[in-house]
Amino acid sequence: MKIDFTKNADGLVPAIIQDAKTKNVLMLGYMNQEALDATQATKKVTFFSRSKKRLWTKGEESGNYLELVSIKNDCDQDSLLVTTNPVGPTCHKGTDTCWAEENIQGYGFLSTLEKIITSRKEDTENTDSYITSLFKKGINKIAQKVGEEAVETVIEAKDDNADLFLNESADLLFHYLILLQAKGYQLNDIVEVLKNRH
């Protein structure tokens, strides 16, 4: 990997730090050749601190290291994308990212839906919730609903009504997420199986 450290007068290049799993950007730091070499040797992300005027390994005081996964340089060879597995919060202020955002394994709205399903599963007193009522009826009823929605999705797949097909697909996915939690799993467990197969 060729990196042009001469483009900036200080000999530093920006290093964008990204979580390898969530793909969220965690922070921005700067590296010189020595910091890059230290990062590759120790497998812990090391920067050149512009304020301390020395090499600085993220987590050297807090223990919140950034464990190296990969390093890529950009098309101009003057910035780095460093993917990591963070150990604890990244920001010195105690937040997951330097933009005070949560760094959660996310699947967009599906992650939000999983949280709702979890809360309804735990709220056994909620008599108005369809999800709660399914959990109360047990695994057999939940599995039956997944089977019914799967059959309805297949039937709609054979027709040309996109609206009906998408709605049945949404019903299938919704009930499958409930079934996963009834069995003690989350969507991420399935994603990991798919990754391992890949």
Task: For residue range 48-95, list pLDDT tens digits in order.
Answer: 999 999 999 999 999 999 999 999 999 999 999 999 999 999 999 999
Residue 197's pLDDT band (cuts 50, 70, 90): very high
The predicted pLDDT at position 56 comes to 95
Percent share of the chain, pLDDT over 70:
99
Among residues 28, 31, 27, 29, the alpha carbon closest in space to that of 95 is found at 27
- Percent of the chain at pLDDT > 90 equals 84
pLDDT over 90 at 32, yes or no: yes
CA distance 109 to 122: 20
Q: Which helix (H) or strand (E) holds 83?
A: strand 80-86
89-102 per-position pLDDT tens digit = 999 999 999 999 98
State both tokens at 129.
Answer: 């919730």
The confidence score (pLDDT) of residue 81 equals 98
What pLDDT score does 122 carry? Answer: 93
Write the CA distances from 189 to 37, 105, 181, integer angstroms. Answer: 35, 11, 11
- Enumerate residues 6+ apart whose C-beta is below 8 A from 67: 43, 44, 45, 84, 85, 86, 87
Contacts of 100 (CB under 8 A, 6+ apart): 91, 93
The predicted structure's pLDDT at residue 108:
76
Domains of the chain: 13-86 (3.10.20.810), 109-196 (1.10.287.1080)
195 pLDDT higher than 90: no
Q: Would the pLDDT of 167 be above 80?
A: yes
pLDDT, tens digit, 9 for 90 and up, residues 107-135: 778 988 999 999 999 998 888 999 999 99
- Looking at residue 184, its pLDDT comes to 95
Q: Looking at residue 22, what is its pLDDT?
A: 85
Q: Cβ contacts of residue 142 below 8 Å, gap of 6+? A: 134, 135, 175, 178, 179, 182
Sign of the dihedral through C-alpha 111, 113, 116, 118:
negative
Q: What is the pLDDT of residues 3-31, one digit of tens each?
A: 999 988 899 999 999 999 888 999 999 99
